[in-house]
Amino acid sequence: MMGRWVYVVLVISLILSLRNPKRFDTQTITDDELTHPSHELRLEYDYYRDKCPDAEKTVRSKMAQLYSQDKQVPANLLRLFFHDCFIMGCDASVFLDDSNGNESHPIERQAIPSQTLKGFDKINLIKEELEEACPGMVSCADALALATRDGILL
């Protein structure tokens, strides 16, 4: 019975996709635009090499320790990273848990999909070590990105 419903959903999806194909923009993108984006917000490997040379090593070491204790940590952080980046970009807004009494201001961490997220405590541990190494240098968003990257590589 369940297989039949899956088949029906797939057929309906196929029919709808053929009926309304996505229209592609005919604007072409040059090679120069791909290699040199016009915006300044780019990811950079070893970004903290001058400000906090041990940042990536600290995160990598802590992630290895956390992974040895719990193999689910990378998956939990990947999901946490996705939920943070999905809404308005990777800004660590998923870590905010207080609206300062403003009931009309929604809090990402209290949203229904965010209520089952795990790994906040792990990022807090990593952030504590980063603060010891170089206070006020590495943002929570970057700590989450680095930890997720290193967790996936473990």
89 assigned ligand-binding residue: yes
93 assigned ligand-binding residue: yes
The one-letter amino acid code at 27 reads Q
Work out whether the CA dihedral 107, 148, 75, 132 comes out positive or negative. negative
The conformation of residue 116, written as its DSSP 8-state character, comes to G
CB atoms under 10 Å from CB of 145, counted, come to 20
119 assigned ligand-binding residue: no
CA 86/CA 40 separation, integer angstroms: 20
Tokens of residue 64, six digits: 């290895």
50 assigned ligand-binding residue: no
142 assigned ligand-binding residue: no
Active site residue 36: no
CB atoms under 10 Å from CB of 73, counted, come to 21
The active-site residue, picked from 36, 39, 83, 105, is: 83
Instruction: Extract the annotated binding site.
Output: 84, 89, 91, 93, 108
Where in the sequence numbering do the catalytic residues fall?
83
Instruction: Extract the annotated binding site for Ca(2+).
Output: 84, 89, 91, 93, 108
